Amino acid sequence: MAISDNDPQAATVENDALSTALTQFDDAAERLHLDDGIRRVLRVSKRELSVNFPVNMDDGSIRVFCGYRIQHSIARGPAKGGLRYSLHVSLDEVRALAMWMTWKAAVVNLPFGGAKGGVMVDPRALSAAELEDLTRRYATEISIIIGPSEDIPAPDMGTNPQIMAWIMDTISMHKGHTVAGVVTGKPVAVGGTLGRLEATGRGILFVVEELCSQKSIHLEGSTVAIQGFGNVGSVAAHLLQRAGAKVVAVSDRVGGVHDGNGLDVDSLLECRSDAKPLAECLGVDKITNADLLALPVDFLIPAALEGQITSRNVGDVRARFIVEGANGPTSPEADRILGERGVMIVPDILANAGGVIVSYFEWVQDLQFYFWEEDEVNDRLRKVITRAYREVAAAAERDGLTMREAAMALGVGRVVEATSIRGIYP
Ligand code: GLU
């Protein structure tokens, strides 16, 4: 690997999101025999907006926050991707997440490019009024590049439907009319779609069901450990348990709970709704996040942060299958080692695509002012994600690739095709 001052891969640690994303891209580029020109185009974001903006705080002080909106590619359609509020947000992290969105939209064949936004803030440390002011000001700052045909944000870590409603309202105030299609993941009352809140977790269920049917495994009674109990992990836990799986461990950022006979996910959900960490829920054994990743389960679902399974802890992993609910949870080195050990990984860009698939349905409904029943949303989600899974699995089988290699080849291949057909302007 070439290391120089201006090499984006220089001086990065193994679990750094951007170096992971770039290594995965370079690997796909080799496999697809891409020429250097197209590699140069797709290795970098198309557009990067950095904003520093003031917010009046409740105590009368002014604080300045830093945020980003990055569009990696718009070759296949409007840029699409979430907005993250976290103290860990950095330019490079958002670049990686935007690039993953491009491949994700392409692998499930949505007419979108990829984008991501982030604000460096701990949303739990703000009052409701401060959170609203920060959101409205950030929305105004990025209003110059977002819109229903330009770039459509959605929830991600630290953001939620209410935050999407404030963004939609802010953009609509500027325009003088309601622009519902500028964000997805909105509350249903203001142009959101039924089924969006659960969509990423439901997509994981559909992926696990398809994997089970292809491998002749009974989902009923199989064991599952889930790292992360946010919007993705908690819904996946609930739906997998309802489908008959034994959810033996779940965790949040503090730690987790474990029961070899299967946890009662619904009572954990109730406990968590009191905003308590899982480890404070009574009557269950505690487990650390490190121990959870090492459990001998059928399905390990990392559904928290990127960079969780690395060469440091990959030797401990004893799961049969890994289904990536988070974006970028496995480092390239860990990925390689797991591949050699025959541990099958359903990669993030396929496994967690349920969210952006239903975001696409929400956008379509907003543009048509015509809203669907929840069953229709869920049925269409199952169709889209199952078809993508089958395409990836067939390519993996045909070409002797891992599921990640096959998904990347398919996703990157589609973006390359669109980029090449459109040509280089002028
Ligand atoms: N933030 C989600 C993701 O990483 C959803 C993005 C969207 O719906 O646009 O896929």
Q: What is the pLDDT of residues 74-91, one digit of tens each?
A: 999 999 999 999 999 999
Q: Among 6-20, 272-286, 302-316, 338-352, which stretch is predicted with the lowest mean pLDDT?
A: 6-20
Q: For the chain, which residues make up each domain, given as ranges?
A: 45-190, 199-351
3-state secondary structure of 323: strand
Task: Give 79: exposed, middle or buried? Use CB within 10 Å, 0-12, 13-18, 19+.
Answer: buried
Q: What is the DSSP letter of 330?
A: B
Ligand 1 center to residue 79 CA distance, Å? 11
Q: What is the pLDDT of residues 124-144, one digit of tens each?
A: 999 999 999 999 999 999 999
Pocket test for ligand 1, best of 156, 207, 231 (most atoms within 8 A of CB): 156
Q: What is the pLDDT of residue 5?
A: 33
Please indicate whether residue 104 is annotated as part of the active site. Answer: no
Residue the block writes with tokens 């959900």: 269
Q: Among 145-159, 198-212, 280-294, which stretch is predicted with the lowest mean pLDDT?
A: 280-294
Ligand 1 center to residue 199 CA distance, Å? 10
Is the domain spanning 45-190 CATH 3.40.50.10860? The answer is yes
Residue 405 has pLDDT above 90, yes or no: yes
Torsion, Cα 394 107 88 158, to 10 degrees, reads: -110
Average pLDDT of the residues in 276-291: 90
Q: Among 13-17, 148-152, 210-214, 234-238, which stretch is predicted with the lowest mean pLDDT?
A: 13-17
Active-site residue, selected from the candidate residues 80, 104, 116, 186 = 116
Q: What is the pLDDT of residue 13?
A: 57
Let me know if the fold of 45-190 is the same as that of 199-351.
yes
Q: Rounded to a whole number, what is the largest CA-CA distance in the chain? A: 66
Average pLDDT of the residues in 116-121: 98
Ligand 1 center to residue 47 CA distance, Å? 18
Which tokens belong to 151? 């770039």
Percent of the chain with pLDDT over 90: 93
Q: What is the pLDDT of residue 275?
A: 73
Which tokens belong to 104? 């994700």
CB-side exposure of 205: number of CA atoms within 13 Å?
A: 25
- pTM to 2 decimal places: 0.96
- C-alpha 139/C-alpha 159 separation (Å) is 13
Q: What is the pLDDT of residues 22-44, one digit of tens each?
A: 999 999 999 999 999 999 999 99
Which tokens belong to 397? 């089988």
Q: What is the pLDDT of residues 190-240, one digit of tens each?
A: 999 999 999 999 999 999 999 999 999 999 999 999 999 999 999 999 999
284 within 8 A of 305, measured Cβ to Cβ:
no
Residue the block writes with tokens 């697809």: 32
Pocket flag, ligand 1, residue 82 (CB < 6 Å) = yes
Which tokens belong to 296? 């001998």
Residue type, 202: R
Query: Atom of ligand 1 at shortest distance to CA of 152?
Result: 9
- The CATH superfamily holding the domain 199-351 is NAD(P)-binding Rossmann-like Domain (3.40.50.720)
